[in-house]
Amino acid sequence: MKGALFLVLMMVVFNACHERSVQQHTSTSQNYISGLASPIRLKFDSTTVLMSDYFTDISGIEKIEFEGQALKVDGAGKLVIKNKPVGKISNLMVIFKGQKHDIPVFATEKTSYHFTYKPSSDKVARVDMSGSMNGWNRKATPLRKEGDLFVTDLVLNSGLYQYRIWEDDQEMMDANNPDKIDNGMGAFNNTFFAGERMPEAHRLMSTAVKDGQIEIKSTGTDVKLEVYFENRLIEYTVQGESFLIRIPEEAKKLKRSHIRIFGSDSVQRTNDILIPLESGEVILDAQNLDRKDMRSAVMYFMMVDRFVNGNSSNDRPTPDPAILPKANNLGGDLHGITQKIKDGYFEKLGINTIWVSPVCQNAEGAWGLWNKGVESKFSGYHGYWPIALRQIDNRFGDEAALKELIDVAHQHQMNVVLDYVAHHVHQEHPLYKQKPEWTTPLYLPDGTMNTEKWDEHRLTTWFDTFLPTWKFADHQVVEALTDTAMYWVEHYELDGFRHDATKHIEEDFWRTLTSKVKKYSESHPERSIYQVGETYGNPELISSYINSGELDAQFDFNLYDAAVDAFAKSNTDFKNLQRVMEESMHYYGSHHLMGNITGNQDRARFISYADGSIEFSEDAKLVGWTRDIQNQGQVGFEKLASLNAFLMTTPGIPCIYYGDEIGMPGGNDPDNRRMMHFGDWNGEQQNLFDRTQQLVHLRRNNMALTYGDLFVLKNDEDAMIYVRSYFGQHVFVVFSKNHTKEWTFELPANYNRTPMKSLGGTGITMENGVIHSIPVKGKVLSHEVFY
């Protein structure tokens, strides 16, 4: 039963504390959707859904129904939804080859927003706005003049947006708006809030499982659920304050399956719940998870050339004096990574997934130029300048070396994710020479060079004058390049891709590649390919690439920026970090697979910001070339330990950038790519490694930290406290910058008061459900994890 009448009946039953079954389809059937169907998010007016995102052969679609109405797909597999759903969550029913499939549908959260700006002078002729609502592309949102104001009308998802103003090509803050936020670069951006500020959403919690029945509780009495086993709606019952879900019998036939629970009231969605099953039983012990359960993954990213030199016979730095040593090959290779796997380094740290930088053959010689403070060209040591897309760089090894690395990793129960560059090639690539028409023009129609125009021309811009961008608007190019990507899947036992420059590539490429991956997986069910992208932008842009037809996830740079602001700086609180963390869960799901980084190859090292070696207002690349940056005492290590504690206790896949486990310092590229070192760590480095190791193993061995729901319990001038909860297993996480006074916090009554273990030594304790913090002299940031 559906619709308003059912909601009324359900609430009558709920309040009377009687039991009533919510009838939904439960018959055993084959699942033709690869993985768990991503929810459809409706847009403002109408929404176009590509059914090929869900089904590899759209000819098998026999019937589609939404909100009681039959819908049809066109010959290209496009489905247009114009119906406005009754509730915040509804369902799209698809009959495919005689089997029923169900896809969650989320009501639109779009809202109209009228933006006004009063210029500093009546002589201003033009006003532009760049911000998180338009990809920081000032030409994307023209403002029109009305009287003495400049205005524009926007359609946005409800939420907070950052922006800056341009008056006649001069960038400035909006002096009329006092609302602003630190932009992480030594300055501020203005902000506005689009839509209505919602009250705190109700919470769903998994509380118990017994005799094949799952119990879910909600903090609200008007919550409605949509419950899915794999990709089919199943029934639940309401009994008192609980929702009861019977695990389908067919789950016993599957080694791994999942139940997903989406909730909503009349105003908004709640958190969603994801429950993994093994042969029909709820997994309660993390020991029953394996490396293919990506929510239990902890990733480690190393640059091949900068990790370990395992075979000196392939050392070939470019013999050009124009390249300074830190911008040249340093000798790291695939053999070196394999050695560290064999040595047990990653197992000791707790890593079960390694991300390897690109291994394709890169250009020889000296390219590019840095000429600020010092002057240097660069070799292709990093792997991002390919001249052959199916050949391994001979400075890293060969086919046998990569296959050995993968085999040894799998023997040690580790995944291998390969960094893949699809966006561009080096000008020396033979295919570019043969088919220059397959790339975008270097010059724009106005005669200007189309390089590094990341937002204004994000789908055609070149990254440098010697790096032509493929013309992904041409499907012939897409077919050729996705075939090349599939070579690495078919020829090597890889477990996934990290995709470079995702937002700069047309979505046709991602859909075509993912379709080919799915078809390959159908004939190779033992393989699963995780795909994670790299996109700098707002959550709406980032999430547009995350769905059943494209990528599994992307790296969450917005969360990283908020974490740097919260943990590296001493004068900030945790309010914005909570906002961004909850925004990520709202956009990508409460149990998303986003990559949460400690740092990466394009950012100055976190610890060097945290200990004051680098100011946020400085040019971190220039600093890296002109100063010898080293660790500056204990404070940076403490702040990095807190960042690690945050990443290891929040949803997503934690990703350690090589060296961050010991606090390696550095400015931006290439200073953040120093050679990794082992065996010569000082006491502070060893201590940070030990603390990181403890956190990683805790993450890997605790179901609450892999599948638990996250709720913030406290966030004020004293501390931020949140809990991860999973069927009675709780982990409480505390971060505090208040070391001038004592404070306490009593846990809500619904959490047990049994004694818990902790990391220890932080000055923060818990007894009988009361968290207690005492002042610690010299401390600027503390964290504690109770489990």
Beta pairing, strands 61-66 & 69-71: antiparallel
Lookup result for tokens 């039953």: 13
Over the stretch 326-371, which tens digit does the pLDDT of each residue have?
999 999 999 999 999 999 999 999 999 999 999 999 999 999 999 9
CA distances from 491 to 53, 665, 721 (A): 25, 37, 47
- Residue 84 banded pLDDT, cuts 50, 70, 90: confident
Q: Angle 334-343/399-411 helices, nearest 10 degrees?
A: 20
Among positive and negative, which fits the CA dihedral 81, 83, 88, 90? negative
- Residue 19 banded pLDDT, cuts 50, 70, 90: very low
Residue 618, Cβ neighbours under 10 Å: how many?
17
What residues contact 681, with CB distance under 8 A and at least 6 apart? 662, 689
Which of 83, 93, 3 shows the shortest CA–CA distance to 42?
A: 83
Q: If you write DSSP's letter for every residue of 189-215 in order, what string do you get?
A: EEEEEESPPPPPPP-EEEEEEETTEEE
Alpha-carbon distance of 781 to 568, in angstroms, equals 9
- Residue 775 banded pLDDT, cuts 50, 70, 90: confident
Residue 618 has pLDDT above 90, yes or no: yes
Alpha-carbon distance of 49 to 47, in angstroms, equals 6
Residue 9 has pLDDT above 90, yes or no: no
- Residue 779 banded pLDDT, cuts 50, 70, 90: confident
Alpha-carbon distance of 51 to 757, in angstroms, equals 48
Amino acid at residue number 671: D
Averaged pLDDT, 566-590: 97
Q: Strand ranges (DSSP E) for 168-318?
A: 170-172, 180-182, 188-194, 204-210, 213-218, 224-229, 232-233, 236-239, 242-246, 256-264, 273-278, 281-282, 299-302
Which of residues 288 and 19 earns the better pLDDT score?
A: 288
pLDDT of residue 481: 98
Q: DSSP character for 469?
A: B
Q: If you write DSSP's letter for every residue of 435-448 in order, what string do you get?
A: -GGGB--SB-TTS-
Alpha-carbon distance of 581 to 722, in angstroms, equals 12
> Rounded to 5 degrees, what angle do the CA atoms 525, 529, 531 make?
155
Averaged pLDDT, 79-96: 94
Which of 92, 41, 35 shows the shortest CA–CA distance to 63?
A: 92
Beta pairing, strands 224-229 & 213-218: unpaired
Token readout for 331 is: 């000798």
- Phi, psi torsion values for 88, nearest 5 degrees: -75, -25
Average pLDDT, the chain: 94
Over the stretch 545-567, which tens digit does the pLDDT of each residue have?
999 999 999 999 999 999 999 99
Overall size of the chain counted in residues: 787
Token readout for 511 is: 């859909």
pLDDT of residue 772: 96
CA distances from 135 to 140, 161, 287, 306 (A): 8, 11, 42, 33
Distance of CA 637 to the CA centre of its chain: 25
- Phi, psi torsion values for 215, nearest 5 degrees: -110, 130
Residue 114 has pLDDT above 70, yes or no: yes
Lookup result for tokens 């707002």: 538
Alpha-carbon distance of 302 to 310, in angstroms, equals 14
Q: Is 725 helix (H, G, I), strand (E, B) or coil?
A: strand
pLDDT of residue 28: 52
Q: DSSP character for 671?
A: G
What residues contact 630, with CB distance under 8 A and at least 6 apart? 613, 665
Residue 450, Cβ neighbours under 10 Å: how many?
18
CA distances from 247 to 210, 257, 471, 645 (A): 10, 11, 48, 34
Cis peptide, bond prior to residue 104, ω within 30 of zero? no
Over the stretch 637-668, which tens digit does the pLDDT of each residue have?
999 999 999 999 999 999 999 999 999 999 99
Q: If you write DSSP's letter for every residue of 97-151 in order, what string do you get?
A: TTEEEEEEEEPP-EEEEEEEE--SSTT---EEEEETTTTT-TTSSB-EEETTEEE
Over the stretch 38-83, which tens digit does the pLDDT of each residue have?
999 999 889 999 999 999 999 999 999 999 999 999 999 999 999 7
* H helical segments located in 533-572: 539-543, 557-567
Over the stretch 232-258, which tens digit does the pLDDT of each residue have?
999 999 998 899 999 999 999 999 999
Q: Strand ranges (DSSP E) for 528-594?
A: 530-533, 553-554
Over the stretch 702-751, which tens digit does the pLDDT of each residue have?
999 999 999 999 999 999 999 999 999 999 999 999 878 899 999 999 89
Lowest mean pLDDT among 16-30, 373-387, 506-520, 623-637: 16-30
Residue 13 has pLDDT above 80, yes or no: no
> Rounded to 5 degrees, what angle do the CA atoms 397, 400, 406 make?
95
Judge contact between 159 and 192, C-beta under 8 A.
Answer: no
Over the stretch 469-498, which tens digit does the pLDDT of each residue have?
999 999 999 999 999 999 999 999 999 999
Which of residues 137 and 776 earns the better pLDDT score?
A: 137
- Using CB atoms within 10 A of its CB, is residue 189 exposed (0-12), middle (13-18) or buried (19+)? buried
Alpha-carbon distance of 726 to 398, in angstroms, equals 45
Lookup result for tokens 């293919």: 292
Over the stretch 283-314, which tens digit does the pLDDT of each residue have?
999 999 999 999 999 999 999 999 999 999 99
Alpha-carbon distance of 749 to 755, in angstroms, equals 15
- Using CB atoms within 10 A of its CB, is residue 14 exposed (0-12), middle (13-18) or buried (19+)? buried
Amino acid at residue number 540: E
Alpha-carbon distance of 693 to 347, in angstroms, equals 10
